[in-house]
Structure 1
């Protein structure tokens, strides 16, 4: 076989088509439709056989968007480049979680603060993509900038510590510049969209307002860059964190990202021309929820890997709490995705529903990380208890041997007992305590927990467990409460059973939230300590979610059985609205046809005298009718 037969030089493929080149820049608008494409449909007539009309009045009424509002190219699903952008969010969460485990209140604040910056940056980019994204070289360049911004944020996350701002001033200044560049890139993209819709005055105002918000955000981030104090190099080595200008500046990052997102969404609520109707915003938020669930699964598998690598044998309780954690995430998936109904989202409700996912995702990621930490702590507690048992046995044995030595000595040298020096056993006890401390160090170090060699109280290490217990049940309860709120916003014209489901979620969420103060108030009770050191810490939340799913499905089953043969309220309202629109369209069409007939009759009346004067101008009736 010759090489020329393998490498053919045909300009087109075998089917006659060649791959289209990516344009330099593309319009976000649909191809314009002319008035000649309008059809008149009489009641009962098949739309496929309807006749085309050139009536300008009907064309103006039926295609108002062509004259006043633009028609954007909406996508029904996420594009591959959007999914690729999601991977950078995954990398941010994974790397930051690996470098900053939640061990105390300060690390918890760092985690939530960094997650706030990453989440709102992702949302700002997605709010543009679901409405105006196109396939062009310009779009790919802007996406490359977004990828670089996410990568830069991940790099800043390695040293992100709001408790030691003065030590990491360059990190916070770099973060300000990265956030500024990402907002400028988004503003440029909105400007390009504005150039394409310059013929639509009603769309220019919301786009200009959105551009103004993004530019103001970029200026604000630039201001934070200069606000961080870098007076001298010695200030960087100040570990006290007493820099007065530090804390207010990093808090401004959170304020800016929240205000700009609320502003962009508020603009889309006021001006419906750039709303999120017919977009895949709900799908994008759902994919982000899956990503956060996946981050929780990664945390669980990491905990299991640490346990299996450092434990000679694993207790059954560790496997039990692991199974509970996996089932917990599975029940989270059921509770979240079973409540989404794409056909019942209102235009404004959909946008409020999207912004409410920030606290929901924050609670979800805390529940996931808390489950992973509790799995690890279950194995750590087992080895700590064994170390304490060894210390108790060694102390008892030391006291026994000491008594035997004294008795033997007294029996053999009773006459010289007054001349014996005082026997101090503190040295032996200190040795035993040192052995215990070394064992504790080995246990904590093996499971990846930093140990302060100078602190012999073990309070920093043991406080990790208290911190996790404190936020775990609170986050689990807040998650269910937010599910109730999202359930209410995501369904218009709710039935009685759906209201009961929302109230049920609310009650269960409040009950879980009250678990945290109950454990804190009864922390000195032996029963409470026995519970928090057992495998039931995760299992209880899992069982509560399972019972909630059962009750929710029972409510749905009862509502379906009770309303069998009856249409839901929202379907009746939709059909009634469609019937009203159809009647109005029929009446308007009949009116238009009557007006056209009257116009033709008047024209015939006007030309009748001329036709009588000149018989040659009388046309054939059939041709005149046509």
Structure 2
């Protein structure tokens, strides 16, 4: 018995926005898992930078690297929702993007240690130019949205040229301002392209919300993995810290469980039904993803501090977790909760953000942070669901 014959190349036409049973494909799931390798490589240096009291440089490097990971992932995700043909050429082009992500991951170390962004830039450009090829395919097969697809291809290609030229800028030039200019150019491409005649591109709201949810799960899982490695390393040195590590482990798990609960407590597909809301929702997830991955780095810092492997204050160790948790809560509230809720429930998340940022000023800050999150989950479950949903 043989299976159905696969197509090498099929017309890349826009998929329907209300296509039934539109779920993530095995290729998309594989794509996500490979990107988590890059996320892990970005979070590990952040952990060590904070533990060595190089907070600002570590945070700057982390946010810069994470932008490249997130932006390449996001562009593939939205393109796939509109044009996934699952033919052989599409699969091979996606494999090129995955290979570029792995090249980027290999360059994280030099970027953090020596401010050498050559390998990261090469990996990023590989991912982005593979997407240019996809958009050129779409421009040939989808006459209605040809102008949109061509704008994407031109815009992405031009910005990549400037990313490459950035590698030859004089060392005296400031790194961060130039980086921010190129970031703004990159994120402006979809805004410009989607306003072309014939646009916007189609996408499936349920599929998009599922894809973002799956990546949130994977990033939170990476936090658990990073924390587990830190705990394992501490335990291997002896049993002197078993009690304190057990407390940290329980509190850390409660924090991650609560973050998962709060993200998935409301359906998100109704939030991506217009171009404006889709941009805000999609772009805002940069902070959710980056904060979720940084929680794992923060838990690693907490373990280092508890086992006296980090010469930092207990307050800084507490903020290594409290800050990403607060950022995560704020953007989950902004993107997921605020559009649904009205009245007093709108205050629950901002209050929790403030309380989270106060916990490092106390003893047992991690346990108190876990308690704040448990309280927020309880309020959201008991009171939040009694309020009529404004957009369901």
Q: Same fold (TM over 0.5)?
A: yes
Query: 1:373 deviation in Å?
Result: 2.0
Residue 541 (structure 1) shift: 0.9
TM-score normalized by the length of structure 1: 0.56
| Pair 1:569–1:129, CA change in 2 (3 A) | closer
Q: Structure 2 stretches of 5 or more lacking a match?
A: none
* C-alpha distance 317-352 of structure 1, shift in aligned 2 (>3 A): same
How far does residue 551 in structure 1 lie from its aligned partner after superposition?
A: 1.3
Q: Measure the CA separation in 2 of the matches of 1:205 and 1:132.
A: 15
1:550–1:260 distance in 2 versus 1, CA, 3 Å: same
Alignment of 1:251-270 (within 5 A): 252-265=178-191, 267-268=193-194
**Any gaps of 5 or more consecutive residues in structure 1?**
1-12, 31-69, 230-242, 381-443, 445-460, 520-527, 561-567, 572-626
In the TM superposition, what whole-angstrom CA distance separates every residue of 1:547-583 from its partner, at most 9, and x where no partner exists? 11111222135437xxxxxxx6657xxxxxxxxxxxx
Match of 1:346 in 2: 273
Let me know the Cα RMSD of the aligned residues: 2.8
Q: Which residue of 1 aligns with 2:95?
A: 144
**2:13 is aligned with 1:87:** no
The question of whether the paired residues in 1 share the 8 Å contact of 2:7 and 2:87 is answered with yes
Q: Deviations over 1:163-186 (max 9, x none)?
A: x43xx4xxx233333323322221
Separation in structure 2 between the aligned mates of residue 303 and residue 339 of structure 1, nearest angstrom: 32
Instruction: Call closer, same or farther: CA 1:92–1:194 in 2, change over 3 Å.
Output: same
In 2, Cα distance between the equivalents of 1:20 and 1:540?
57
* Structure 1 residue aligned with 2:357: 513
Does residue 176 in structure 1 map to residue 103 in structure 2?
no
1:280 aligned residue: 207
**Matched residue SS, 1:544:** helix
What does residue 304 of structure 2 align with? 376
Contact 2:45–2:58 (Cα < 8 Å) also in 1: no
Given the alignment of the two structures, is residue 318 of structure 1 paired with residue 245 of structure 2, yes or no? yes
Partner residue of 1:135 out of 81, 86, 91? 86
- 1:107, distance to aligned residue in structure 2 (A): 2.1
**Who is 1:293 aligned against?**
220
Residues 346 and 152 of structure 1, relative CA distance in 2, 3 Å threshold: same
Shift of 1:208: 2.1
**Does residue 501 in structure 1 map to residue 345 in structure 2?**
yes
Superposed displacement of residue 71, structure 1? 5.1
- The match for 1:487 among 326, 336, 345 is 336
Q: How many residues align?
A: 384
The answer for the alignment partner of 1:462 in structure 2 is 311
Correspondence 1:193 to 2:172: no
Using a 3 Å threshold, how does the CA distance of structure 1 residues 269 and 470 change in structure 2: closer, same or farther?
A: farther
The 1:182/1:569 distance shift into structure 2, 3 A limit, reads closer
Change (3 A) 1:73 1:152: farther
1:159 and 1:143 map into 2 onto residues whose CA distance is 26
Q: Who is 1:305 aligned against? A: 232
Give runs of aligned pairs for residues 588-599 of structure 1, distance below 5 A: none
Q: C-alpha separation between the residues in 2 aligned to 1:116 and 1:316?
A: 38
- Higher relative contact order, chain-length normalized (CA < 8 Å, sep 6+): 2
Residue aligning to 1:361: 289
C-alpha deviation, 1:472, in angstroms: 2.9
SS in 1 for 2:311: helix
For 2:191 and 2:159, the matched residues in 1 are separated by 15
Which of 315, 324, 331 is equivalent to 1:475?
Answer: 324
Shift of 1:268: 3.6
Partners of 1:569 and 1:308 in 2: CA distance: 49
